[in-house]
């Protein structure tokens, strides 16, 4: 079965997380992604978990499936010439260097567009290509902090807390992918390429929803509230007999159903709970504890089944093993089996975007360092050995 992006060639200069996540989305959906690594390899080849037998990174293996991997010394004139030759036949170049590094290596947009004016050139970075902090290095925890998310996460009496997964990297990769597809659509109409510039701090800032509006409209700076949502109540995580349950009662109609379901219809007569806005104001003054007292003697399964029956959004808090094994994840093929050449059998995430006619899939494992160099560059054995000897390729 054909995939949506078949026929597109992507030159992937990315490392770490946000860039490789972008190019994985493209590769899962059929793009021919050629991952170019320095001779030392992508830094995330050193990030755990590491396979005990082979020493390979499971993180790298998950994040770089469906790609062909080559090594290239871009600081060598011959390596740069090889890169330029690859760019001539490419549709997309993706990099996530710190601003200024691509220019130093002569693989920036201005150099590349002279070789291929129709190229879509995507750059992910911490602070963007043109900003006061452009040349600063950045990791996810820095972006979450400077974007405003860390100060909103955690409980009022706790220290500021980052979101568990690397959400700045992850969503920056998604935004890069979306920007590339937008630029491709425009190129179909105009024939012109362009640059896509996505910053991790911008990405986090864009996710803060009503916290920004609350600050600008009311002059009130939101603070940490634990699992409470400032705009919806009840919207929280409650303890129960065997763990925790998440519950969201998003409007007045659902609140009426909720009160009847838990046997507390008297709440509907309380003037503090008549509207969602009022419930948000007075949630901590009694409603939160009442619900907690009601859930604590019930199991996650009992609560989930009860609220699912009446249409109230509800779900158990699952650990990683439980999340992997739940029927929902399995039915959506969000976990797949693949064989890695040195790690062996792996069980990793599947494709989250489901297309009816051109579905994406995970077909090949992540490449070993330099695995496809000779194949992709079309080198004879002698040419390959010479370039290896001279430090142009691994």
Q: Which residue numbers are catalytic?
A: 169
Looking at the chain, the whole-number percentage of residues with pLDDT higher than 70 is: 100
Q: Are 120 and 192 within 8 A, CB to CB?
A: no
For residue range 104-163, list pLDDT tens digits in order: 999 999 999 999 999 999 999 999 999 999 999 999 999 999 999 999 999 999 999 999
Q: Nearest to residue 377, comparing CAs of 145, 386, 102, 319?
A: 386
DSSP 31-82: -EEEEEE-TT--GGGGSSSBPTTT--BHHHHHHTTT-EEEE--TTSHHHHHH
For residue range 248-271, list pLDDT tens digits in order: 999 999 999 999 999 999 999 999
For residue range 191-235, list pLDDT tens digits in order: 999 999 999 999 999 999 999 999 999 999 999 999 999 999 999
Burial of 38 (0-12, 13-18, 19+ CB in 10 A): middle
The pTM of this model reads 0.96
% helix / strand / coil in the chain, to the nearest 5?
Answer: 45, 15, 40
For residue range 156-196, list pLDDT tens digits in order: 999 999 999 999 999 999 999 999 999 999 999 999 999 99
Q: What gap in Å lies between CA 2 and CA 331, rounded to an integer?
A: 22
- Flag whether pLDDT at 56 surpasses 90: yes
Q: What gap in Å lies between CA 13 and CA 84, rounded to an integer?
A: 13
For residue range 280-290, list pLDDT tens digits in order: 999 999 999 99
The pLDDT, as a whole number, for residue 280 is 96
Q: What is the mean pLDDT of the chain?
A: 97
The pLDDT, as a whole number, for residue 77 is 97
Classify the C-alpha dihedral 51-350-119-110 as positive or negative: negative
The pLDDT, as a whole number, for residue 1 is 84
């Amino acid at each position: 079965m054909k995939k949506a992006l078949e026929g597109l060639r992507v030159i992937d200069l990315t490392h770490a997380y946000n860039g490789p996540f972008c190019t994985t989305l493209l590769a899962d959906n059929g793009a021919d992604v050629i991952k170019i690594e320095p001779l030392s390899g992508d830094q995330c080849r050193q990030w755990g978990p590491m396979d005990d037998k082979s020493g390979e990174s499971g993180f790298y293996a998950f994040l770089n499936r469906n790609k062909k991997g080559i090594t290239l010394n871009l600081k060598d004139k011959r390596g740069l010439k090889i890169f330029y030759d690859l760019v001539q036949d490419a549709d997309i170049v993706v990099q996530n260097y710190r601003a200024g590094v691509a220019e130093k290596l002569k693989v920036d947009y201005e150099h590349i567009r002279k070789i291929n004016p129709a190229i879509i050139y995507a750059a992910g970075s911490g602070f963007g290509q043109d900003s006061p902090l452009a040349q600063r290095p950045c990791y996810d925890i820095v972006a979450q902090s400077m974007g405003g998310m860390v100060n909103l996460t955690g409980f009022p009496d706790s220290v500021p807390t980052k979101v568990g997964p690397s959400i700045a990297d992850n969503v920056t990769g998604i935004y890069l992918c979306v920007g590339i597809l937008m630029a491709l659509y425009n190129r179909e109409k105009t024939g012109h390429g362009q640059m896509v510039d996505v910053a991790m701090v911008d990405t986090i800032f864009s996710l803060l929803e009503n916290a920004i509006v609350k600050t600008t409209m009311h002059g009130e700076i939101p603070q940490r509230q634990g699992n409470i949502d400032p705009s919806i109540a009840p919207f929280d995580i409650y303890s129960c007999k065997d763990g925790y349950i998440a519950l969201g009662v998003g409007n007045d109609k659902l609140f009426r159903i909720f009160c009847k379901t838990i046997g507390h219809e008297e709440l509907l007569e309380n003037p503090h709970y008549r509207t969602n806005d009022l419930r948000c104001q007075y949630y901590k003054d009694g409603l939160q504890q009442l619900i907690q007292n009601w859930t604590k003697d019930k199991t996650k399964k009992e609560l989930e089944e009860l609220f699912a029956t009446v249409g109230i959004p509800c779900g158990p808090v699952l650990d990683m093993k439980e999340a992997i094994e739940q029927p929902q994840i399995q039915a959506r093929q969000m976990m797949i089996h693949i064989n890695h050449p040195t790690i062996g059998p792996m069980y990793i995430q599947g494709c989250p975007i489901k297309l009816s006619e051109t579905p994406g899939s995970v077909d090949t494992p992540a490449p070993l360092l330099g695995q496809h160099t000779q194949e992709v560059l079309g080198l004879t054995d002698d040419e390959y050995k010479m370039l290896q000897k001279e430090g142009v390729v691994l």
